[in-house]
């Protein structure tokens, strides 16, 4: 399969997944010649780029339509789309600028294509895997260095979309200190992948709370990459409640979550007191992620949808 892949800032994890499926990937080709479109099966674009330059997107779609090639938009920031004006989104929806809209959340929003595909985030297994550890080793009490950890963007001053998260972890750290619980909440940008993985693996509990895609709304549906990357490394994840968790994991068996601050503190204390329970969930989640929630799996699903679309459209 030959695929045009328009992501100005790159999306290496999905690109590698497509290549693992045997796809030939052509980067950043918004105005392809007829020769360049020869034998192309699909064009996949960053939804944000498509919305911000609607005329360019529409011209590309018009050319692709004549050749029976689907235009697919990948949206990892739905439904609130921080930084995009609502009228741009409305126009993009009105003109049905995509053939397939692949999104990390099915939360009700504008409709951008005739076909909507749940395309969740996933684990980038080139970086997030066991790194030579084994799950049995991670059951040992003296294996862990931290009781609770979080690695991510905590700069609420610079990034308004992370203010709620920064406030949450600041208060949580104070509350847990009263119980003598050892916390490590770190900004991710200065840590290497290996350093992040070591923190994940050496923590009894890895937290997920808030995400940039949540900014502007009260509900939380989509799962950030962390929800797949932590289990891929063998870590135990305790997340805030997310609607799509039940679609990707079995609650209580492969997934643990909390409702609010009080419940978070209570769940942390519970799982620290019952490490066998947390490790059972961590191991089940690891196997589920490696089977169903890698970018290779996401790419395989995309390739399948492309084949279905072309079969139905080019009869």
Segment 126-152, tens digit of pLDDT: 999 999 999 999 999 899 999 999 998
The whole-angstrom separation of Cα 243 and Cα 106 is 9
According to DSSP, residue 123 is labeled B
* Most confident stretch, 156-160, 208-212, 225-229: 225-229
On the question of pLDDT at 296 being above 90, the answer is yes
pLDDT tens for each residue of 261-271: 999 999 999 99
Superfamily for the 2-122+295-313 domain: Glycogen Phosphorylase B; (3.40.50.2000)
For the chain, the structural domain boundaries read: 2-122+295-313, 137-292
What's the start-to-end Cα distance of the chain, in Å?
19
**CB neighbours (10 Å) of residue 300?**
15
Using CA atoms of 91, 244, 187, 7 in order, give the dihedral in degrees to the nearest 10.
-40
On the question of pLDDT at 239 being above 90, the answer is yes
Q: Which of 233, 227, 162, 158 is nearest to 195 (CA)?
A: 233
Superfamily for the 137-292 domain: Glycogen Phosphorylase B; (3.40.50.2000)
Length of the chain, please?
315
Matching CATH topology for 2-122+295-313 and 137-292?
Answer: yes
According to DSSP, residue 168 is labeled H
On whether the CB atoms of residues 277 and 254 are closer than 8 A, the answer is no
Look up tokens 């502007």; give the residue: 216
Q: What percent of the chain has pLDDT over 90?
A: 85
pLDDT tens for each residue of 20-35: 999 999 999 999 999 9
pLDDT tens for each residue of 189-209: 889 999 999 999 999 999 999
């Amino acid at each position: 399969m030959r695929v045009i892949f328009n992501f100005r800032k790159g999306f290496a994890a999905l690109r590698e997944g497509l290549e693992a499926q045997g796809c030939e990937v052509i980067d950043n080709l918004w105005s392809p010649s007829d020769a360049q479109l020869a034998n192309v099966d699909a064009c996949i674009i960053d939804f944000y780029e498509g919305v911000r330059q609607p005329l360019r997107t529409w011209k590309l779609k018009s050319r692709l339509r004549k050749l029976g090639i689907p235009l697919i938009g990948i949206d990892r920031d739905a439904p609130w789309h921080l930084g995009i004006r609502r009228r741009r989104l409305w126009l993009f929806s009105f003109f049905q600028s995509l053939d397939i809209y692949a999104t990390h959340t099915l939360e009700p929003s504008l409709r951008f294509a005739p076909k909507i595909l749940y395309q969740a985030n996933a684990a980038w297994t080139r970086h997030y895997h066991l790194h030579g550890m084994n799950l049995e080793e991670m059951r040992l009490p003296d294996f862990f260095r931290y009781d609770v950890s979080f690695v991510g963007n905590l700069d609420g001053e610079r990034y308004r979309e992370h203010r709620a998260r920064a406030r949450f972890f600041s208060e949580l750290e104070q509350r847990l200190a009263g119980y003598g619980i050892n916390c490590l909440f770190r900004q991710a940008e200065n840590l290497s992948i290996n350093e992040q993985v070591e923190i994940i693996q050496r923590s009894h509990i890895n937290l997920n709370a808030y995400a940039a895609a949540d900014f502007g709304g009260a509900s939380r549906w989509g799962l950030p990459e962390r929800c797949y990357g932590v289990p891929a490394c063998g870590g135990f994840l305790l997340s805030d409640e997310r609607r799509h968790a039940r679609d990707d994991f079995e609650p209580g068996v492969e997934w643990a979550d909390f409702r609010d601050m009080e419940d978070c503190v209570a769940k942390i204390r519970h799982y620290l007191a019952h490490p066998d329970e947390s490790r059972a969930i961590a191991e089940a989640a690891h196997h589920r992620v490696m089977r169903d929630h890698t970018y290779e799996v996401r790419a395989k699903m995309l390739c399948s949808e492309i084949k279905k679309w072309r079969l139905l459209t080019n009869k």
